[in-house]
Amino acid sequence: MIPAGGIILLILALLNGIILTYAYTNNPQLYWWLVISIPLLLAATYKTRQKKRADYSMPNMRLHFFAQREDGNPFKERANLIVHQAAKSAGRVVAPGMYVNGPTPGSEWEAHSVYPLSTGEEDVRVTIGNNQCSQPYNASILIMEVTGYSLLSNAAVQDLNEGAVPGEFAHNTGEHGISHHYLNGGDLIWQIGPGYFGCRSENGNFNTGKFIENARRPEVKMIELKLSQSATSGYGSIEPTVTDSRQLAGGSINRLPRHTAFSNAEGMLLFIESLRKLSFGKPVGVRLCIENKKQVYELCYYIQKTGIIPDFITVDGFEDATGAVSPEMANEVVMPLYEALTFVSATLQAYGLKEHIKIIAAGKIISGFDVVKAMALGADACCSAGASRFTQTLQSAGSNFSIDAANGQSRRYEILDITDRKVWAANFHKNTIKAVTELMAVCGFKKLSDITVPGFFRLMNFAEIKSASNTYRPHRLRETRKIAF
């Protein structure tokens, strides 16, 4: 498939050829048209070969001339602008009301304090690891995540990992194992799905020796056992699309609907205990979508029964899916992030586990407000895949994420200047954390534990405003109860 930039270049080349031919054979006055057509051809050639920006003309024509700030799925166009400004440290000061015309039903905001406080970046890190973990990790509250290899290329993965060093953030590997592109100095959260890439035997099962080899790397700070996520809900781990198996560390692709190392909650906890021992006590947790509340109750019940406590739970919503599923699976199967977040937080509190298990929110986390809101609803940290994509492409938010320049499926992959992109990743993280601290300060939150739900409000309709504590909390808390299995 020829990219849009190549099509435009071909059209301009043909246009110049036609002008030259007719001017030479029929009308010399047509040569004057070359004053316009040749500069256009040169500009298109430069645009196609330049390294500074990995976008194409068609999406950006739509973005700059047709799209509105609130257009685009799964992200609005203004999300692209927010990431762009943060990644390039461009002017992030805008006039109030610049993005939207005014509050509309569904709008949310955070109440400021007339007595703002001073909050520093040292106040927005979190220690992950309970008393069963001997190597707890002091993490930034904003984790950047690699998505499927159909979305980010090896160059982009390497760039993101290099950006994690000056940015001082953790880099979630996704479920693709640990290739040398991940080993460029950045802290890693190694994600293990049912494919067991990076710790996979020849028959596709878990391999203890390979796990030890990767888990004990100094770059690996945490281990995340993926049960399900929004992209692959119902499919287990690997989305049902074609992925280049050569880029998967530990074997070719083999879509499995479930883990073979365990078959129930109790078995999973015993597996987590073994992973923690094999990794010399590094934090081990699980990643899941909330598809069946009873399974969350069951997990908590067996945590109490076995005494084996995961160090963290990553809660995934459907909003920032990074894979490919059928339309029926896209939105109608998984609980949305914020509802799932409040449910998991309330359930852990009911079972007396919240102080031992950190919660990581994974979804549409783009701005500082997104981070603070997730923290208010029960998260201890956030994980953003969408922002990771944007910092590697700076592509229109409403267009196809799988653009050639990011996923390595064209020669533009070969000419990418990754120096800029590792700086963009670090800048985005730094500026977003700065926005978080500014929001906390103006709202009177000195530390993360001070962020509370009653400080957030939603416009239900033009005659009713509700606190987030009434929007998210009450029915979740009433539904949460201990169940015996």
Question: How large a percentage of the chain has pLDDT more than 90?
Answer: 33
Answer yes or no: do 319 and 393 share one domain.
yes
Co-location of 159 and 254 in the same domain: yes
Which of 424 and 138 is assigned the larger pLDDT? 138
How crowded is residue 229: how many other Cβ atoms within 10 Å of its Cβ? 29
Domain boundary pick from 14, 47, 79: 79
Question: Is the confidence at residue 104, as pLDDT, over 80?
Answer: no
Do 375 and 307 sit in the same domain of this protein? yes
Angle among Cα 427, 408, 80 to the nearest 5 degrees reads 40
65 and 165 both lie in a single domain: no
For 380-413, write each residue's pLDDT tens digit: 999 988 777 666 665 444 444 444 344 444 444 4
Task: Note the pLDDT tens digit of each residue in 59-71.
Answer: 454 554 445 545 5
Q: Is the pLDDT of residue 55 over 50?
A: no
For residues 119-123, give the mean pLDDT: 72
pLDDT at 415: 46
Angle (CA) 473-479-482 rounded to 5° is 120
Task: Please check whether residue 85 lies inside any domain of the structure.
Answer: no
Assess whether 30 and 132 both reside in one domain.
no
Residue 413, pLDDT score: 46
Local confidence band at 281 (pLDDT 50, 70, 90 cut-offs)? very high
CB of 442 within 8 A of CB of 112?
yes
Question: Within 10 Å of residue 10's Cβ, how many Cβ atoms?
Answer: 12
Q: Say which residue, 253 or 362, is predicted with more confidence.
A: 362
Q: What is the pLDDT of residue 406?
A: 46
Q: Could you tell me if 60 and 134 lie in one domain?
A: no
| pLDDT at position 364 over 60 | yes
368 and 419 assigned to the same domain = yes
Q: Please, which residues have CB within 8 angstroms of residue 377's CB and are 6 or more apart in sequence?
A: 338, 341, 342, 345, 361, 453, 468, 472
Residue 113, CA distances (Å) to 434, 441, 451, 454 in order: 18, 9, 12, 13
Whether residue 234 lies inside any domain: the answer is yes
Pair 66, 157 in one domain: no
Domain boundary among 16, 47, 79: 79
pLDDT of residue 26: 87
Please give the tally of structural domains in the chain: 2
Question: Which range of residues forms the domain containing residue 24?
Answer: 4-79
Between 267 and 398, the more confident residue is 267
Looking at the fold, whether 352 and 420 belong to one and the same domain comes out as yes
pLDDT band at 143 (very low <50, low <70, confident <90, very high): very high
Task: Tell me which residue of 264, 183, 247 sits closest to 218, measured CA to CA.
Answer: 183
Query: Do 223 and 338 lie in a common domain?
Result: yes
How many other C-beta atoms are found inside a 10 Å radius of the C-beta of residue 469? Answer: 17
Please give the pLDDT value at position 239: 46
In a domain, 95, yes or no: no
Statement: residue 476 has pLDDT above 60 = no
Supply angle C-alpha 46, 48, 54, rounded to 5.
115
pLDDT average, residue stretch 81-97 = 71
Three-class HEC string of the chain: CCCHHHHHHHHHHHHHHHHHHHHHHCCHHHHHHHHHHHHHHHHHHHHHHCCCCCCCHHHHHHHHHHCCCCCCCCCCHHHHHHHHHHHCCCCCCCCCCCCCCCCCCCCEEECCCCCCCCCCHHHCEEEECCCCCCCCEEEECEEEECCCCCCCCHHHHHHHHHHHHHHCCEEECCCCCCCHHHCCCCEEEEEECCCCCCCECCCCCECHHHHHHHHCCCCEEEEEEECCCHHHCCCCCCCCCCCCHHHCCCCCCCCCCCCCCCCCHHHHHHHHHHHHHHCCCCCEEEEEECCCHHHHHHHHHHHHHHCCCCCEEEEECCCCCCCCCCHHHHHCCCCCHHHHHHHHHHHHHHCCCCCCCEEEEECCCCCHHHHHHHHHCCCCEEEECHHHHHHHHCCCCCCCCCCHHHHCCCHHHCCCCHHHHHHHHHHHHHHHHHHHHHHHHHCCCCCHHHCCHHHEEEEEECCEEEEHHHHCHHHHHHHCCCCCC
pLDDT at 398: 42
d(CA 381, CA 398): 26
Q: How confident is the model over 84-111, as a mean pLDDT?
A: 70
In whole numbers, what is the pLDDT of the chain averaged over residues?
78
Q: Does residue 60 sit in the same domain as residue 142?
A: no
Q: Is residue 100 part of a domain?
A: no
- Of the listed ranges 118-122, 138-142, 186-190, 431-435, the least confidently predicted one is 118-122
CATH of the domain at 204: 3.20.20.70
End-to-end, the C-alpha distance of the chain in Å comes to 54
Residue 241 lies in a domain: yes
Label residue 8 by pLDDT band (50, 70, 90): confident
Domain boundary among 21, 55, 79: 79
Rounded to an integer, the average pLDDT of 5-31 is 86
In this prediction, residue 115 carries a pLDDT of: 80
Look up residue 210 and give its two tokens.
């390979």
Q: Is residue 339 part of a domain?
A: yes
pLDDT score for 29? 86
Give the pLDDT of residue 234.
Answer: 46
Residue 470 within a domain: yes
Would you say 366 and 428 are in contact if contact means Cβ atoms under 8 Å apart?
A: no
Residues 292 and 160 in one domain: yes
Given a cut of 70, is residue 302 above it in pLDDT? yes
99, part of any domain: no
Which is higher by pLDDT, 447 or 2? 447
In whole angstroms, give the CA distance from residue 290 to residue 312: 15
- Which tens digit of pLDDT belongs to each residue from 423-472? 888 888 999 999 999 999 888 888 888 888 877 888 887 777 877 777 77
Read off the pLDDT of residues 314-338 as tens digits, 9 standing for 90 and up. Answer: 999 876 555 555 565 655 567 888 8
- Rounded Cα gap, residues 313 and 374, in angstroms: 14
